[in-house]
Amino acid sequence: MTQANDIVNIEEIMRIIPHRYPFLLVDRVKDIVPNESAVGVKNVTMNEPHFTGHFPDQPVMPGVLIIEAMAQTAAILVGKTLDLVDKKMSVYFMGIDNVKFRRMVVPGDCLEMKVTVTRPGGKVWKFHGEAFAGGEKACEADFTAMMQPPKG
């Protein structure tokens, strides 16, 4: 088993994936084991735009955004694995399977996304992700993503 790398901070995250506010859903990534796994961290705050409508009287992070946060964590793992910092590589969903939501994620939660590579690839990768809040599993899913080099 390969040894885990240092923490990837927000500045480096933005050099790996193209996402920005309000769609950048990972604050840092830790415990990166190239080609194997990583843990993304998202500090959930009431200041996020989706909470004004989901739901005004009981704010809940939308499940699709939890899945997106897991996918962004996976993209950062691939970016570190393949040395894609500053390479402007895009990562696109191809499929999402076996999704289960088990706990609401609310403002004040620290969401930890544990992503494991189930099939590494050149262009197409498969992952299993689990998201935890307050030590409880909030979501799990299997997903497939495609790496797309910059156009031009």
Could you tell me if 76 and 147 are in contact, meaning their C-beta atoms sit under 8 angstroms apart? no
98-142 pLDDT, tens digit per residue, is 999 999 999 999 999 999 999 998 889 999 999 999 999 999 999
Query: CA-based angle 19:23:24, to the nearest 5?
Result: 55
Reported as a single tens digit per residue, the pLDDT across 42-68 is 999 999 999 999 998 999 999 999 999
Tell me 8's DSSP state: B
50 flagged as catalytic = no
Q: Which run of H or of E encompasses 38?
A: strand 37-43
Report whether pLDDT(89) > 80. Answer: yes
Label the pairing between strands 110-119 and 136-148: unpaired
The pLDDT value recorded for residue 151 is: 73
- Is the pTM here over 0.85, yes or no? yes
Please pick, among 19, 50, 54, 128, the residue that the annotation labels catalytic: 54
Q: Are 91 and 146 in contact (CB under 8 A)?
A: yes
